[in-house]
Amino acid sequence: MSFDWKQKVWLAPLTAMLAITLVGWWCKTEVKGSIEQHLIIHLQAILKSKITSLRIWIDNQMRLVEILASEERTRSLIWAVVAQAKQDGATGEILRASQESRELRENLLSRLRTEGLEFVVTDAEGAIIASPNDGRLGERLNDSVLEKFQSIFDTGKSVLLTPYQRARPEGGRSRTPGSGRAGPGRNREEPRNFRPPPDRSGPGEGRRNSGPRSGGGRFGPPGRERRSRTIMAVAAPVRSVEGEIVAVIGLMIRPEQEFSRILSVGYDGQSGETFAFDSNGVMLSRSRFEAELRVAGRLEANQTSALFLELRDPGGDLTRGHRPSTGPETWPLTRLVSEAVAGNDGVDIEGFRDYRGVPVVGTWHWLDDYEFGIGTKVEKKVAFETLRALNLVFFILLLLAMLCGVGMFLFSGLSLSLRRRMEAANREVKKLGQYTLTEKISEGGMGTVYRASHALLRRDTAIKLLPPDQADAKAIKRFEQEVQQTSRLVHPNTIQVFDYGHTPDGIFYYSMEYLDGINLRDLVARDGRLSEARVIYILQQVCGSLAEAHEAGLVHRDIKPANVILCDLGGMTDMVKVLDFGLVKSYRDFNDDMMERTETITISGSPHFISPEAVSCPDQVDHRSDIYSVGALGYYLLTGAYVFEGMTTFEVFRKHTTEVPVPPSRRVDSELEPELETAILRCLNKEPERRFDSVTELLTALRRSPAARQWTEEQRRSWWADYRRRRPERVPEIPAGVSEETLQINLSGRTQTAC
């Protein structure tokens, strides 16, 4: 088959195919760079937050032990016990019988009981002179711990001992004197006066930097069966009146209670992890993958990862069956650990293997002041899941472009058929810029609302459209006013507007947050009238939204049940969102609207919730009109009925302006809190000046009701759990509050009540 390359009909598909490929490649490169940058920021933010949390926690522990070391009563008792230990013939039994020793023990126990901490007090030779277990009096710390404690005598500064294993004998007590290290002003010989119990074992095998991993325990002899537990410690100097350091007080902390928990809180997805390690690459916190490590043989059945797991690269993915031919001692440290130990802080998103051999990305930092490192990692396939989807899309796009080009050469008719099908698809699924409309939610006189999805953000959005056949100058002005006024409001209880624009077809639209909840009209129709406590909880949030609007000089003018939605957003149950600011008006710009008011007078609002002045003098309403509507809303929620009923709209209008409402308590079967009923009736006063001066004042009145704090978090969560179970299907609500009840009636030429 031969082609005339000079004919534009054949050049067009080739040009399009090349253009699509180049644009697709450029987009892919840009998005990839954006994803990588976001990933770096995300990982570093997690790491910084964990480091900050750890520093705060460690500082608090340091502050606690320093407070104990400086308290007058504690210091005086320690001085007395230290003096006793220096006397000739002093033994552990003598210290246990000492009144000062018992008082010191009881004083520290009473202070630390609520903290869940153990304590130990040692003298300059490392001999224990106070402990929760007085059977340990006279023992000495083992070498690894003693070194840290004795460093306090040299520097005068508090120290932190990173997690280490402390072994305890199964049977009776055993006292193991350690090799003493001289404090300031002393030699390295044993103390001349203090006599510990007989030496029945050695000091124990030290674990690299932080304490024993196995063998001789801290307080028991080697060779005896023992249980081990992981602990941390903070220690501070105790000074004499002259300022000389005479003892050290240490607090023993269970790291799994705070240290590991701080690192484990807020794991990044199913594969993210933040962990701590020492200079030898030994894990100090607990791994979230201990079950996988036991299956792979890296941990024994009774071992935890803390202090037993060396963070080394096995050379392959252990979770996929890889089994190295050599032991872990021959494996190199993972890139994250080796770089951190070398003092090189950094981030790696190209990928490296973790201690399971799984490809990951991560960031790391070495804490010089604490002598351990912190790393954050996440599996690479999870981190770049979006990028993999992008690569797949690009590949499919390139393949389709090639197929289309070849198809156009071979079958000229295929392009026409394809174009027709694409046009049909576009008519079925309308696109507005980055938004794809998925389903219609509602339709009314003020526009049509669709549920939509953003092409990049992948989140549900509500799109309100003003079709071209409704887009006269006045409608467009009102539509733009709704967007502009609502976008000025940022209160959490006010619906948020994201975007605004129009298509080349003349369709005006704006996007806002999509709310999956239930509006108050449907809630009352579903459950009947609400409890007083829940009504107060809802009205408080409505007042919060209106307070911001009123402060900006705006009046909503259409507060009603259909325009208030209850949601469960981000764990905030019964979260109120006030909708539909389409009728919002600035009551401070009276003169700017003078010309419009002389030409036409319009009642705007919902008949059952409209204020008397909005009927009689609609061009002079202010924020107190909204307060009336809030009162009518509260009345409806408490009773399940409107304040005034009528056969026609104008009959309801007349009752709002002339009749006194029946108290809510007379329309329900039970008594209501007087404070709440009084507040509702005050809102419904015909004269604006006799209502509350502001929604803030109304909010204060609502809080005075005894029922204000009775709608508890547990009740709210229970209600929403029951609601999600009971509703038969997910029915989208009306995010923009479009309702047939909202009216705009032109009163030009009609007789009005004098304003």
Expressed in angstroms, the distance from the first to the final Cα of the chain is 87
Predicted pLDDT of residue 659: 92
10 Å CB burial of residue 723 (0-12, 13-18, 19+) is middle
Predicted pLDDT of residue 415: 54
Residues 143 and 232 in one domain: yes
Residues 320 and 375 in one domain: yes
Which parts of the chain have pLDDT scores under 70? 1-14, 88-91, 165-229, 266-269, 405-430, 444-446, 468-471, 505, 582-605, 728-755
Nearest Cα residue to 542 out of 520, 522, 526 = 520
Q: Is 26 a domain residue?
A: no
Residues 534 and 599 in one domain: yes
Predicted pLDDT of residue 13: 64
Q: Which helix (DSSP H) or strand (DSSP E) does residue 565 occupy?
A: strand 564-569
Contacts of residue 104, Cβ cutoff 8 Å, sequence gap at least 6: 74, 77, 78, 81, 121, 130
Q: Is 682 a domain residue?
A: yes
Predicted pLDDT of residue 584: 60
Residues 559 and 674 in one domain: yes
Report the half-sphere exposure of 41 (CA within 13 A, side-chain side).
Answer: 6
Residue 729 has a CB neighbour count (10 Å cut-off) of 4
Q: Which helix (DSSP H) or strand (DSSP E) does residue 208 occupy?
A: none
CA 55 to chain centroid, in Å, comes to 20
Residue whose pair of structure tokens reads 């309801």 in the numeric block: 652
Residues 527 and 669 in one domain: yes
Nearest Cα residue to 605 out of 621, 593, 588 = 621
Written as six digits, the tokens of 596 are 């419009």
Q: Which own/partner pairs from 79-85 qualify as long-range (CB within 8 Å, at least 24 positions apart)?
A: 79/240, 79/246, 81/121, 81/129, 81/130, 82/123, 82/129, 82/246, 82/247, 85/123, 85/127, 85/129, 85/191, 85/193, 85/194
Residues 233 and 279 in one domain: no
Written as six digits, the tokens of 326 are 């050599």
Q: Is 151 a domain residue?
A: yes
Predicted pLDDT of residue 27: 80
Residues 326 and 240 in one domain: no
Predicted pLDDT of residue 755: 58
Total number of domains constituting the chain = 3
Can you tell me the distance from the alpha carbon of 507 to that of 519, in angstroms, rounded to the nearest whole number?
28
Residues 569 and 680 in one domain: yes
Contacts of residue 553, Cβ cutoff 8 Å, sequence gap at least 6: 586, 587, 588, 589
Written as six digits, the tokens of 574 are 């019964």
Give strand pairing partners of 398: none
Predicted pLDDT of residue 346: 93
CATH code at 233? Answer: 3.30.450.20
Question: Based on C-alpha coordinates, what's the Rg of the chain?
Answer: 37
Residues 120 and 220 in one domain: yes
Q: Is 158 a domain residue?
A: yes
Q: Is 714 a domain residue?
A: yes
Written as six digits, the tokens of 533 are 């406590």
10 Å CB burial of residue 410 (0-12, 13-18, 19+) is exposed
CATH code at 352? Answer: 3.30.450
Predicted pLDDT of residue 446: 66
Predicted pLDDT of residue 502: 78
User: Which one of 360, 383, 406 terminates a domain?
Assistant: 383
User: Which one of 322, 356, 383 terminates a domain?
Assistant: 383
Q: Do the beta carbons of residue 619 and residue 597 sit within 8 Å?
A: yes
Residue 689's SS3 state is helix
Q: Is 2 a domain residue?
A: no
CATH code at 563? Answer: 1.10.510.10
Nearest Cα residue to 664 out of 693, 690, 631 = 631
Can you tell me the distance from the alpha carbon of 685 to that of 13, in angstroms, rounded to the nearest whole number?
73
pLDDT tens digit sequence for 27-48: 878 888 888 898 899 999 999 9
pLDDT tens digit sequence for 232-284: 889 999 998 888 999 999 998 887 777 888 888 766 667 889 999 999 999 98
Q: Is 495 a domain residue?
A: no
Residues 576 and 687 in one domain: yes
Predicted pLDDT of residue 410: 61
Residue whose pair of structure tokens reads 């009775």 in the numeric block: 710
User: Which one of 321, 348, 383 terminates a domain?
Assistant: 383
Residues 162 and 298 in one domain: no
Q: Is 644 a domain residue?
A: yes
Predicted pLDDT of residue 93: 78
This prediction's pTM: 0.44
Residues 133 and 158 in one domain: yes
Structural domain that includes position 609: 516-746
